Amino acid sequence: MTGPEAHHLRTVLRLSPGDPITFFDGTGARYQARIERILKDRVTATIIGQTRDLPPKVHLHLGQALLKGQKMDLILQKATELGVEAIYPFYSEHGIHKQPRDTQMDRWQRIVIEACKQCDRATPPEIHTPREVTDLITQPPPCDARLIFWEHETRHTLKDVLAPHNKDCRSVLFLLGPEGGFSETEVACAQKEGFIPVSLGPRILRAETATLAATAILQFTLGNLDPVLPDDQEKSPCAPLSNG
């Protein structure tokens, strides 16, 4: 390892030869290794094992309206911790229209990588380029169930919506609106395209609260928060690393 990661191991974590470390290659592999040598510009380690995350029981895709300030950062971090597999940021009628700069996309990547390290997740969520909500509604990624969280919904709760799907449902796309909410037209368009409007109760939640609550409830209901036994982890032989 070289660069900031090597610096972090040497000067922040103050690791010594023989210490165990775990690291990720960003493509889904998690390596267990032992530090060999700590040099000025790099750290070398011997890989002693490799595992991958098990695939989730149900693939969860979050469509998130772009939010102001640091709220997107919070959502990306928490969605990563909670195991969301892909994030589709979108522009909408009552939300942000300004295209995020490349630096912001890079920052989002860094946030999810840091969250992965912190929560021991080997496969970072995919962050898609922001698009119009109407594009996401009319050309969604293939999913067995599509939901739109709407504070004016009076019929459907998450409980009723997921119960009939539970057995055959392998993937869910769920949309959360901006601070200004979804427009009536957006909700009608989503319904026409097969999205089910869902309520999170009688109180209007802040956008970021709604996303975190919806994500946690969905993951729990879909079985993605069940513990994984160590023996269930996919084990595979060590693979050489490109940059040591």
Q: How far is the CB of 154 from ligand SAH (least distance, A)?
A: 10
Nearer to ligand SAH (CB atom), residue 38 or residue 205:
205
Closest by CA to 205, choosing from 67, 79, 112, is 67
Classify burial at 173, counting beta carbons within 10 Å of its beta carbon; exposed 0-12, middle 13-18, buried 19 or more: buried
Strands 171-176 and 59-65: parallel
Q: How far is the CB of 223 from ligand SAH (least distance, A)?
A: 22
Q: How far is the CB of 71 from ligand SAH (least distance, A)?
A: 11
Nearer to ligand SAH (CB atom), residue 15 or residue 216:
216
State the first-to-last Cα distance of the chain, in angstroms, to the nearest integer.
6
Q: How far is the CB of 201 from ligand SAH (least distance, A)?
A: 5
Contacting residues toward ligand SAH, per CB under 6 A: 149-151, 176-177, 180-182, 199-201, 203-205, 207, 210
Q: How far is the CB of 57 from ligand SAH (least distance, A)?
A: 24
Nearer to ligand SAH (CB atom), residue 17 or residue 201:
201
Alpha carbon distance 109, 102 (integer Å): 11
State which residue has the least CB distance to ligand SAH.
177
52 pairs with which residues across the strands? 29, 234
Nearer to ligand SAH (CB atom), residue 24 or residue 149:
149
Nearer to ligand SAH (CB atom), residue 9 or residue 133:
133
